[in-house]
A and B are shown apart, each in its own frame.
Chain A
Amino acid sequence: MVTDSPLLAVRNLQVRFETLRGELQAVNGVDLTIYPGQIVGLIGESGSGKSVTAKSILNVLSTPPGITAGEIWYRERNLLDLSPREMSKIRGQSIAMVSQDPMSSLNPVFTVGEQLRDALLWSEIVQDSTSEPSSWNLIDRFTRAGRRRFRRASAQAVEDLRQVELPAPHQQVKNYPHQLSGGMRQRVLTALAWAGQPDLIIADEPTTALDVTIQAQILMLLQDLVKTRGASILYISHDLGVVAQLCDRVAVMYAGEIVEEADVREIFENPRHPYTEALIRATTMASEDDLVEIPGEVPNMLALPSGCHFWPRCPMMIERCASDTPLLAVVGPNHKSKCAVIHGEWV
């Protein structure tokens, strides 16, 4: 797996927002590599920049448009160099996204069958290289080719819903999103994401709104789809439990930077950054002693502490932490940490 060339390589990603109170550096120098067939987890608390990272990969950051710098290599192309037209062919076809809230990401006035059918139609139109994709093709029921495409997509929609284990897909295609439960909506979103046969799915906390028994089913579904279709997933979450169960590799974000990155077993058994360690203990909660104090709150992104951004909350902090900026350095096999105290660079 590791010998392959990476599917996605994010290099030194910077995202800044102009705000009324000054410039906000939401993502600062993020490197991320995803190989084919790999599930990579991106962990962080709210405001750590994990969703901004995900959205800037697809260039779908909403208002205000961020100022993005760095490189995002998908196969042999830098996504940041692509024109909007080229980028729209990437979205959904090569890289798709499943978002957190299954209610607000489905259109309430179309049935799930119509939405899935249109996604499939669009995917076919985009992949058809003979003509430039246009929205006209989407509503084309007047030519024979258009009708054939329409029928094929409608049948495929039912088949795709069956693949995501939605019960009674023949009936469900006629239902509107509000008629489905949260878990069923999330299955529909998953089917939508797979509609364009992407080889990378960015899943932004897809199970946060779900109950735990349903969450387990959705995670299992994602894992099965990865196995059967050979795609990769970038899985964004704040829940270390979910990431531990699902992912092959894990990156931990804090204040816009990756502070630790390793294979899943390594990072949970041998965390080499104080923040990761505190997060793991706060998630385990085996006893009251595990409720380790991470003093203070997640820092204000407009006024980040100098040096290592974690120092005001860090139990291992030394004087240099407040002045010098640590680097993400190798601390073990396939294991990087940004804590200069732990990897012994600063004494």
Chain B
Amino acid sequence: MVDQPLLRVRNLTRSFPVQGGFFNRIVNYVRAVDDISFEINGAKTLGLIGESGCGKTTVAKLILRLIEPDSGEVMFDGAHVLDFDAAQLRALRARIQMIYQDPYSSLNPRMKVFDIIAEPLNIHYGHQLSAKEIRHRVVDLVKRVGLHENDLGKYPHMFSGGQRQRIGIARALILQPQLLVLDEPTSALDVSIQAKLLKLLLQLQREMQLTFLFISHDMRVIQLMADDVAVMYLGKIVEYGPIEDVFSNPRHPYTQALLAAMPTPDPGNRLDKLVQLKGEIGDPSNIPAGCPFWPRCPQKIGEICERKPPQLLPVNQTTAVSCHLYHEPGHEDFSPLGKSDEILARR
């Protein structure tokens, strides 16, 4: 366990302009990520969970600076990522790698598996490593992710979805990164294949001391993989804490609804219990005032929910919730960041 978290994100915000009308003027802004703070300790997993359009993938891209944030702070291993120049960024991207959702479009169909996996090595250390050394590293890694050395001469189309995702994992791990950002890595796969891939990821995490930012919409996957969980709704984190606490005792009405809506392979509890929410997921370009969740919230208190945006405030030693239900009006003046920081410091 390290003293400071490997990744620390503070007040990250990014909105995208919506163009339209005469001369393609900017008519509106989509607040994709709104004031998000979290951190991940070394060799741990943070699960980022939420429904489509809530900004999960934008968070991942912001951390890697594939897109630039409007404001906020990203600290990786004690350094301010947002101040990096091009050379530093390149070095950073060897230490943070990403695994994508779609195993079909994320591999170049015209490259052989060996070239796909060796490409990061060639880019970052091409002039330092001999061809023999590169070959050695690739072969070694390919075996660790459960593929065969003979597969290296094949093309991606010759593999199934699960095997392709293994190629993606090998490509991400070849540079021995510290942080792996996994954006729905198994949601395109069949359950039996998903189970094997998750098992592989857990095993690799233990062996290589990897830190995961694991993005998913599937509560079962998050429950299995994550140590901490952050629940996102329309660009904001609505609940944040250790997985055992949040999943066994969900506090935010949205977290409660998400967990209830998860269909379990247990015929005992029937459908009626699954539905706690009415209406559609909100439109990120037209986020309601006050709490973004109030139009769908089954536990709405009253006018305060429509007027005042709740802050992400601690409810106990480890967990923070952004909901007026848990924060008495007297607490409104607390600096939320200060309190969240305290929580994080204690952990």
- Determine how close the nearest CB of chain B comes to the CB of A227; give it in whole angstroms: 11
| B265-A240 in contact (CB<8A) | yes
- Whether A213 contacts B264 by the Cβ 8 Å rule is no
- Bound together, the chains give a CA A288 to CA B221 distance in angstroms of 11
Residues of B within 8 A of A291 (CB): 195-196, 198-199, 224
If over half of A's interface residues share one DSSP class (helix, strand or loop), that class is named, otherwise mixed; here it is helix
- Indicate whether A241 sits within 8 Å of B264 (C-beta atoms), given known contacts A211-B217, A212-B219, A279-B191: yes
Q: Which bucket holds chain B's interface residue count?
A: 35 or more
Shortest CB–CB separation between residue B215 and chain A, in angstroms? 14
Which residue of the partner chain, among A264, A283, A288, A297, contacts B162 with CB atoms under 8 Å?
Answer: A297
B302 — which chain A residues lie within 8 A by C-beta? none
A50 to chain B, nearest CB (A): 12
Q: Does A101 contact B (CB under 8 A)?
A: no
Chain A residues with CB below 8 A from B85, complex form: none
* Residue A234 at the chain B interface, CB threshold 8 Å: no
Given A184-B280, A219-B274; A245-B269 close (CB under 8 Å): yes
Select B262's contact among A212, A243, A281, A294, beta carbons within 8 Å.
A212
Given the complex of chains A and B, what is the CA–CA distance between A93 and B190 in angstroms? Answer: 33
Does any Cβ of A come within 8 Å of B52's Cβ?
Answer: yes
Whether A214 contacts B280 by the Cβ 8 Å rule is yes
Complex CA distance for A30 and B272, rounded to whole angstroms: 32
A217 and B275: CB pair below 8 A? yes
Q: A211-B51, A214-B51, A297-B160 are in contact. List 16 more A-B contacts (CB 8 A).
A: A167-B279, A167-B280, A183-B281, A217-B277, A220-B275, A238-B190, A244-B267, A245-B269, A245-B271, A264-B267, A268-B267, A283-B220, A285-B220, A285-B224, A288-B202, A292-B195
CB-CB < 8 A to A268: which residues of B? 265-267
A287 in the interface, Cβ–Cβ < 8 Å? yes
Would A45 and B219 be within 8 Å (CB), given that A214-B280, A268-B265, A283-B265 are in contact? no
CB contacts (< 8 Å) of B190 on chain A: these are 45-46, 238, 298
Interface residues in A201-253 by Cβ distance below 8 A to B read 211-217, 219-220, 223, 238-246
Q: Which of A291-317 contact B (CB under 8 A)?
A: 291-294, 297-298
Least CB separation from B259: chain A residue:
A212
Least CB distance from B271 to A in Å reads 5
The answer on a CB contact under 8 Å between A246 and B271 is yes
Chain B contacts for A213, CB-based, 8 A: 51, 257-258, 261, 276-277, 281
Q: Does A87 contact B (CB under 8 A)?
A: no
A270 to chain B: closest CB distance in Å?
11
Q: Are A220 and B271 in contact (CB under 8 A)?
A: yes
Per the bound structure, the CA–CA distance linking A298 and B160 in Å amounts to 9
**Residue A331 CB within 8 A of the other chain:** no
Interface flag for A278 (CB, 8 Å): yes
Contact A297 B193 (CB under 8 A): yes
A105 proximal to B (CB < 8 A)? no
Give the residues in chain A near B199, CB-CB below 8 Å. Answer: 288, 291, 293
In angstroms, how far is the closest chain A Cβ from the Cβ of B276? 8
CA distance A298 to B265 in the complex (A): 22
Question: Is the CB–CB distance between B51 and A212 below 8 Å?
Answer: yes
Taking CB atoms, residues of chain B closer than 8 Å to A216 are 260-261, 263, 271, 274-277
Docked CA distance A283–B266 (Å): 10
Q: Which residues of A contact B193 (CB under 8 A)?
A: 45, 297-298
Task: Flag whether B223 is at the interface (Cβ < 8 A).
Answer: yes
A220-B272 CB under 8 A given contacts A278-B192, A288-B224:
yes
Does A284 lie within 8 Å of B265, measured CB to CB? yes
In this assembly, does B176 line the interface, its C-beta being within 8 Å of a C-beta of chain A?
Answer: no
* Interface-central residue, A45, A285, A286, A294, by most chain B CB under 10 Å: A285
Judged by a CB distance under 8 angstroms, whether A282 is at the interface is yes
Which residues of the partner chain B approach A294 to less than 8 Å between Cβ atoms? Answer: 192, 195-196
Q: Is the CB of B160 within 8 A of A240?
A: no
Q: Which residue of B lies closest to A278 (CB)?
A: B192
Asked if B194 is at the interface of the complex by the 8 Å CB criterion, the answer is yes
* A107 lies within 8 A of chain B by Cβ: no
